[in-house]
Amino acid sequence: MPEWHQLGMACAPLCLLRLGRKFSSTEATRTSVVATLKSSSKSPHDLKKGHALIIKSGSRCDDFVVGNFVASCGVLGLMDYAQEVFEEMPEPNGFVWNTMIRGFQRNGRPLDALVFFRRMRYVGLQPDRFTLPFVVRSSGGLLESWCGKGFHGCVFKFGLEFDVFVQSSLVEMYVEFGDIGMARQVFNEMPERDSVAWTILIGGYVNRCCDMNAARRLFDQMPEKDIVVMNVMIGGYVKLGDVDAANEMFSKVATKDLLMCNTMMGGYVKNWDVGAAYRLFVEMTERDMVSWNTMIGGFIQTGRFKEATELFHRMQTENLRPNDVTIVGMLRACSQVGALDMGKWLHAYVDRNRYLVNVVVGTSLVDMYCKCGVLECAEQIFDQLHDKDVTAWNAMITGFAMHGKSVKALELFRQMQHERIQPNEVTFVGVLCACTHGGLVDEGKQYFHSMVSEFGLTPQLEHYGCMVDLLGRAGLLEEAYDFIKGMPLAPHTGVWGALLGACKIHGNIELAECAIKHLIELDKEDGGYCAILSNIYAKAGRWDDVAKVRALMKERGIEKKPGCSSIEVDGKVHEFGVGDKTHPRSEEIYTMLKEISRRLTMHGYVARTSEVFFDVEEEEKEHALCFHSEKLAIAFGLISTKKGVMLRIVKNLRVCDDCHAATKLISKIFERDLIIRDRSRFHHFRQGICSCGDYW
């Protein structure tokens, strides 16, 4: 017997002894008891007191009183307690049986609901219009169509085939089975239909069939449309990505509830229209956690870290406690832009509010520290995590790989196997990247083949791209090309791009031209590939070919993605483009650039101008290289931080040879450690040496 039931039973005799009399279950008493139950049964503790009151008042066999007590148990999810009280009744009536069946169905226990229905029939009670709807829904919850059809027959047997409530439940049951045809047949045979029946069937077309055309036809026929069915339709359009149709319907709704606004805001974000989402967010008179998280996530998705951070702080000023979704989203934003100060603040917030028990938040912290260049903190958190799942292991393995810690990445992978954590496709992307950055060709080949032979995983395009990158960086260009030709999947831009990048490193013009041909066919808008080919031609001094590539880019309207670098100083992220002069301290930045250039020259530095696009004078090439985005970020970091403070920079493109060589020397001249994260890996610069060993 449960503890709460024992307490309830024990309380009654004590009360009776104190009062010295037994209460009779008169009409006034039973009304009073039920009123007390309804007003106080909001927690298990209240329920115990209510049970004691039932026993004390002599109402243990009163169907009306016990039925209401059972209903309270159902609301609190305590159906086992309800059943014990029920079993003490000698002859419960239909109301009590119905309440038990409904309680089990609504608490996700359909089998128990059906068992009680059979027991009800066994004792000779005939089900009514309040019994069958919950029985039918329970059979739908079990997804047993044969069982559901049997109860459909019961509807006719007991003369309830014209009851709207019962028929609506049948429609819902067939929708649950995925039998939209039978659901429609039952709906068509209904002599009278309420809004519930219409909404259930429309929801079936939306959620089960993803047939918005059929749903819309039925919606247009619906005589009176309430906010529930409007939510179903708008949610369906958003789910299928038809935001225009959702917006059209949304704009016509006079009174919009919170669910509808959240759904529409999510649709705008899904469609990358964050401006429309924010306008709706501002207009909303009521907001919940979904509203805030959707808007913060929208800003993060579109790279608007500043707005996401401001909204996060505003959320706190309005006394709303962020949940796991908020924290994970903000940590992801910090990871994207390398905002270590903000990430540390979030880490402190997590510790204060005991979020670290959540492996999802803990994994996000590991990922954030890895992507902000602080592997020590990432390792510490990883080691503290309990019940680490494959995602946590992947984050740490990938972190080591990105930082060029290939040996540690592979050691962690072996430890993962020792602890019997099954690796997935993402794990092997990290492992193969580790082999790539470490030049571990034989190991990479072995791990690639083990995906199928040992772990039963099918290599995806990302894994083939890693292998091409591994072979290409090691100078095995012909082998990389043969590997591509032997792929069972059609190579994507990542595969051909890896080959093109290797051709740039090793100056193979013939294979570069082959790769660029495929890349232009696959992606006609990305000019980065053409820029790499142009660099290869420029390095070889083939300026006529450089001009042809530039002419092709102009003819097709192809543009190279502009370089952008960001640096965090005092908790604020500053972004710079090539030759950017929009920063408030721009004059100081360019003065520092001149100083950097002067001191580099004093130490014998010569700009690597071979990759500059145009056949212009060397002085002009050096001038162009001087204003690359990462150099602007470095200059800003030098004037904005104290001597000795490490500079952390994130770049959206691969670091060029000149910037890499210059940054090595800057780290020695200015006695600064620098970390630059480009699109493929981290570079740790210290005393004139880079962690990549010039192999990137």
| pLDDT at residue 210 tops 80 | yes
Q: Are residues 536 and 587 in the same domain?
A: no
pLDDT of 434 reads 95
Q: Average pLDDT in the 355-367 region?
A: 84
What's the CA gap between 678 and 680, in Å, rounded?
6
- Residue 248 located in a structural domain: no
Q: Are residues 480 and 526 in the same domain?
A: yes
In this structure, of 371-380, 537-546, 550-559, the range with the lowest mean pLDDT score is 550-559
| pLDDT at residue 641 tops 60 | yes
- Residue 541 located in a structural domain: yes
User: DSSP readout, 585-601?
Assistant: THHHHHHHHHHHHHHHH
| pLDDT at residue 25 tops 70 | no
DSSP state of 209: S
Q: Are residues 531 and 575 in the same domain?
A: no
Place of tokens 């910037």: 659
What's the CA gap between 27 and 278, in Å, rounded?
57
| pLDDT at residue 336 tops 70 | yes
Banded pLDDT at 409 (limits 50, 70, 90): very high
Question: Helix (H, G, I), strand (E, B), or coil: what is residue 316?
Answer: helix
Q: Are residues 608 and 510 in the same domain?
A: no
The last residue of one of the domains, among 508, 525, 556, is: 556
Q: Are residues 569 and 682 in the same domain?
A: yes
DSSP state of 357: G
In this structure, of 23-27, 216-220, 308-312, 679-683, the range with the lowest mean pLDDT score is 23-27
Q: Average pLDDT in the 62-80 region?
A: 84
| pLDDT at residue 421 tops 80 | yes
Q: Average pLDDT in the 518-525 region?
A: 80
Opening angle at CA 315, ends 310 and 317, nearest 5:
95
- Residue 420 located in a structural domain: no
- Residue 594 located in a structural domain: yes
pLDDT of 54 reads 78
Helix (H) or strand (E) holding 675: strand 674-677
Q: Are residues 587 and 676 in the same domain?
A: yes
- Residue 198 located in a structural domain: no
Exposed e or buried b per residue across 369-406, where buried means at least 16 C-beta atoms within 10 angstroms of its C-beta: bbbbbbbebbbebbeebeebeebbbbbbbbbbbbbbbb
pLDDT of 618 reads 38
User: DSSP readout, 227-241?
Assistant: HHHHHHHHHHHHHTT
pLDDT of 623 reads 45
Opening angle at CA 313, ends 309 and 319, nearest 5:
150
Banded pLDDT at 53 (limits 50, 70, 90): confident
The last residue of one of the domains, among 70, 92, 114, is: 92
| pLDDT tens digits, 174-189 | 887 777 888 888 888 8
What's the CA gap between 592 and 647, in Å, rounded?
15
Q: Are residues 575 and 681 in the same domain?
A: yes
Q: Are residues 597 and 631 in the same domain?
A: yes
Q: Is the dihedral of CA 459, 400, 635, 601 positive or negative?
A: negative
**Strand 564-569 and strand 572-577: pairing?**
antiparallel
What's the CA gap between 654 and 636, in Å, rounded?
20
Of the two residues 324 and 561, the one the predictor is more confident about is: 324
pTM > 0.85: yes or no: no
- Residue 78 located in a structural domain: yes
| pLDDT tens digits, 587-624 | 999 999 999 999 998 888 776 655 554 444 333 344 45
In this structure, of 129-138, 194-203, 242-251, 336-345, the range with the lowest mean pLDDT score is 129-138
Q: Are residues 15 and 86 in the same domain?
A: yes
- What tokens appear for 265 in the block? 């805001």
| pLDDT tens digits, 433-446 | 999 999 999 999 99
| pLDDT at residue 147 tops 70 | no
Q: Are residues 577 and 684 in the same domain?
A: yes
Please check whether residue 500 is in contact with residue 516, taking contact to mean a CB–CB distance below 8 angstroms. Answer: yes
Name the residue range of residue 521's domain.
Answer: 460-556
| pLDDT at residue 405 tops 90 | yes
Average pLDDT of the chain is 84
What's the CA gap between 468 and 470, in Å, rounded?
5
What's the CA gap between 211 and 48, in Å, rounded?
49
Number of domains in the chain: 3
pLDDT of 294 reads 96
| pLDDT at residue 525 tops 60 | yes
| pLDDT at residue 454 tops 70 | yes
| pLDDT at residue 14 tops 50 | no
Q: Are residues 529 and 589 in the same domain?
A: no
- For the beta sheet containing 689-690, the strands, ordered from the edge strand earlier in sequence to the opposite edge, are 572-577, 564-569, 647-651, 674-677, 682-686, 689-690
Of the two residues 270 and 10, the one the predictor is more confident about is: 270
What's the CA gap between 366 and 477, in Å, rounded?
35
Residue type, 453: S
In the chain, the largest separation of any two C-alpha atoms, in whole Å, equals 111
Q: Average pLDDT in the 326-333 region?
A: 92
| pLDDT at residue 321 tops 70 | yes
- Residue 206 located in a structural domain: no
| pLDDT at residue 132 tops 50 | yes
Q: Report how far apart, in Å, the C-alpha atoms of 199 and of each of 175, 192, 193, 239, 270 are.
A: 11, 14, 10, 17, 25
- Residue 531 located in a structural domain: yes
| pLDDT at residue 112 tops 60 | yes
Please check whether residue 8 is in contact with residue 55, taking contact to mean a CB–CB distance below 8 angstroms. Answer: yes
What's the CA gap between 593 and 102, in Å, rounded?
75
Q: Are residues 603 and 659 in the same domain?
A: yes
DSSP state of 523: -
pLDDT of 530 reads 81
pLDDT > 70 fraction of the chain, expressed in percent and rounded: 86
Question: With helix as H, strand as E and coil as C, how does 475-502 read?
Answer: CCHHHHHHHHHCCCCCCCHHHHHHHHHH
| pLDDT tens digits, 275-293 | 999 999 999 999 999 999 9
Please check whether residue 151 is in contact with residue 139, taking contact to mean a CB–CB distance below 8 angstroms. Answer: yes
The last residue of one of the domains, among 92, 116, 142, is: 92
| pLDDT at residue 17 tops 70 | no
| pLDDT at residue 507 tops 80 | yes
* Other Cβ atoms closer than 10 A to 174: 27
Q: Average pLDDT in the 229-234 region?
A: 94
In this structure, of 93-107, 330-344, 396-410, 490-504, the range with the lowest mean pLDDT score is 93-107
Banded pLDDT at 392 (limits 50, 70, 90): very high
